[in-house]
């Protein structure tokens, strides 16, 4: 790397550190419209309130607060964009997005957005359905109303089946029944929110898998989520994050590559390949058959199929929103880095424009500037990895269902996944997907999934639940082949020295005591 590029990278690192510091320590909260007092809350909590709180003025106040916070680092972000583009230009790239995409994914922008544009084109029609629904649901498309109106009641109904004091046990049982383990690694899990904690789940590896004198040395992994135990909707988000980040941990603790550079999350590992695994694991948790077997309320009652069917009929028109949200971030970043002379005004305009294009809401939003990924070197201009991963996991799930007829608690599925984990990043994303599924990467499975009618989804869910009911529930103790600690910051709450089950029970008891 040229010395000028090295100097720029140091300047970028310093600026990124300053932004992250500001994001972690800034005072957050919304002004209660009734009391006029500032209620201190994390960004994550305010977003959850926007999805679940019955009082529209509170939801609107939370919306206003996070919109304001989105502007906190705008000046620094403009400077960051300029420095990153200068860095990319010194290395011979068109801009920073071009650099990240070619350097990490070996793709051009035209190749990537041809895939995304094709998906968007084949999954159109939901905006018109939502606008029609708004005729009988006034205010539906307001940014502070949309998630609440569409999903708020379901979030409340589902909440009872996802008590977070049971999350660790269910996570361990699911992984163990699938045949997933951590190959003698060490895990540290920090799962509850607290003041000053980074407001986004993540996983990292303090100790990489490596070889010493020919002997494989296990790695270690720490991962987090931001659960507020007494907040409706927070528990289910926590489950999802626990499975997602647990998938990341399993991926790179199972690698057997002797070159250490192939055993970490950075290039040549691509975000697309890494996210394929973690997102595949969190689709286990979100599947109807997992809910039927594992999601239970305190009375031991399973997640009702009636709720699942009613939710599918109501929310089916939102199915394109997941991939559209990812394309939204990618398109925003692409356009930001293609600006010849970026300014705060131009970037705000791009945030508004793309939010309107991809969400069609009745009101402006700076959500693009609220996403932590855009401020970090490692994740900036890499959000497309989530989109490519959605394409890949739809293809992988289709492959497994055709081959085995079920995925949840299927050790054959776990065995095949562990084989791919052994590769680390020794294979390219496209090569790995072809070897894992027997086919080149194609968006066909994802487009088919998005366009399935509610009744077809419900019929399929019933069939998959029936298949799983014929498979025995494992009675064996959970064995993840890992030293596991559950912590809260620097405080250890429990570990699995005695057993996984004892650890999960101790942690669950502690979680209950945290409810205010």
- Domain assignment present for 37: no
Are the C-beta atoms of residues 391 and 399 closer than 8 Å to each other? no
User: What does the pLDDT profile of the chain (516 residues) look like in tens digits?
Assistant: 788 889 999 999 999 999 888 776 665 788 888 888 888 777 778 888 898 889 999 999 999 998 998 898 999 999 999 999 999 999 999 999 999 999 988 899 999 999 999 998 888 778 888 999 999 999 999 999 998 888 878 888 999 999 999 999 999 999 999 999 999 999 999 999 998 887 778 899 999 999 999 999 999 999 999 999 888 888 999 999 999 999 999 999 999 999 999 999 988 999 999 999 999 999 999 999 999 999 999 999 999 999 999 999 998 988 999 999 999 999 999 999 999 999 999 999 999 999 999 999 999 999 999 998 999 998 999 999 999 999 999 999 999 999 999 999 999 999 999 999 999 999 999 999 999 999 999 999 999 999 999 999 999 999 999 999 999 998 899 999 999 999 999 999 999 999 999 999 999 999 999 986
- Domain assignment present for 351: no
- Cβ contacts of 138 within 8 Å, gap of 6 or more: none
Place of tokens 């039927």: 292
Among residues 324, 452, 360, which one has the least CA distance to residue 133?
360
- Domain assignment present for 176: yes
- Domain assignment present for 203: yes
- Domain assignment present for 113: no
pLDDT the model gives residue 2: 80
3-class DSSP state of 222: strand
How many angstroms separate the Cα of 19 from the Cα of each of 73, 222, 377? Answer: 7, 23, 12
What span, in angstroms and rounded, lies between the C-alpha atoms of 178 and 473? 11
Which tokens go with 22? 């500001």
H-helix or E-strand containing 310? Answer: helix 305-315
Are the C-beta atoms of residues 279 and 393 closer than 8 Å to each other? yes
- Domain assignment present for 405: yes
Range of the structural domain that residue 195 is part of: 166-296+307-316+384-468+488-513
pTM (predicted TM-score): 0.88
Q: In terms of C-beta density within 10 A (0-12 exposed, 13-18 middle, 19 or more buried), how is residue 124 classed?
A: exposed
- Domain assignment present for 28: no
- Domain assignment present for 40: no
3-class DSSP state of 385: helix
pLDDT the model gives residue 47: 85
pLDDT the model gives residue 24: 66
pLDDT the model gives residue 26: 65
Look at the chain and report how many structural domains it folds into.
Answer: 1
pLDDT the model gives residue 256: 97
CATH number at residue 259: 1.10.1370.40
């Amino acid at each position: 790397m040229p010395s000028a590029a090295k100097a720029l990278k140091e300047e970028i690192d310093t600026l990124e550190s300053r932004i992250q510091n500001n994001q972690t320590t800034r005072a957050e909260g919304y002004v209660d419209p009734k009391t006029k007092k500032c209620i201190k809350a994390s960004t994550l909590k305010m977003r959850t309130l926007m999805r679940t709180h019955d009082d529209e003025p509170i939801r609107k106040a939370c919306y206003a607060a996070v919109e304001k916070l989105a502007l906190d680092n705008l000046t620094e972000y403009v400077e960051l964009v300029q420095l990153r583009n200068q860095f990319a230009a010194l290395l011979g790239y068109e801009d920073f997005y071009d650099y990240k995409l070619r350097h990490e994914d070996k793709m051009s922008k035209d190749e990537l957005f041809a895939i995304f544009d094709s998906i968007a084109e084949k999954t159109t029609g939901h905006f018109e359905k939502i606008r029609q629904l708004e005729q009988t649901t006034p205010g539906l498309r307001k940014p502070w109303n949309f998630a609440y109106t569409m999903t708020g009641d379901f979030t409340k109904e589902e909440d009872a089946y996802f008590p977070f004091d049971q999350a660790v046990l269910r996570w361990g049982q699911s992984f163990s029944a699938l045949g997933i383990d951590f190959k003698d690694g060490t895990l540290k899990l920090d799962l509850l929110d607290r003041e000053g904690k980074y407001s986004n789940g993540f996983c990292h590896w303090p100790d990489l898998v490596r070889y010493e004198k020919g002997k494989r040395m296990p790695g270690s992994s720490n991962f987090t989520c931001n659960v507020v135990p007494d907040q409706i909707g927070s528990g289910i988000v926590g489950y999802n994050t626990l499975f997602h980040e647990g998938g990341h941990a399993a991926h790179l603790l199972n690698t057997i590559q002797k070159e250490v550079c192939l055993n970490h999350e950075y290039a040549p590992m691509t975000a697309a390949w890494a996210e394929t695994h973690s997102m595949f694991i969190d689709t286990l948790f979100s599947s109807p058959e997992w809910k039927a077997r594992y999601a239970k309320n305190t009375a031991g009652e399973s997640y009702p199929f009636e709720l699942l069917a009613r939710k599918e009929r109501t929310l089916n028109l939102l199915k394109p929103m997941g991939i559209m949200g990812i394309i939204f971030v990618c398109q925003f970043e692409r356009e930001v880095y293609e600006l010849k002379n970026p300014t705060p005004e131009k970037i705000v305009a791009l945030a508004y424009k793309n939010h309107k294009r991809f969400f069609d809401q009745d009101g402006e939003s700076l959500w693009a500037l609220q996403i932590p990924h855009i401020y970090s070197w490692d994740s900036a201009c890499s959000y497309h990895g989530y989109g490519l991963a959605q394409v890949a996991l739809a293809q992988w799930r289709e492959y497994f269902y055709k081959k085995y007829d079920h995925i949840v608690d299927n050790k054959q599925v776990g065995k095949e996944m562990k084989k791919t984990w052994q590769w680390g990043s020794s294979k390219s994303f496209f090569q790995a997907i072809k070897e894992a599924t027997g086919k080149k990467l194609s968006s066909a499975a994802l487009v088919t999934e998005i366009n399935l009618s509610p009744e077809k989804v419900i019929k399929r869910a019933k069939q998959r639940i029936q298949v799983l009911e014929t498979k025995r529930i494992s009675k064996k103790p959970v064995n993840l082949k890992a030293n596991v600690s559950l912590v809260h910051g620097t405080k250890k709450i429990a570990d699995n020295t005695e057993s996984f089950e004892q650890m999960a029970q101790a942690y669950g008891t502690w979680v209950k005591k945290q409810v205010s």
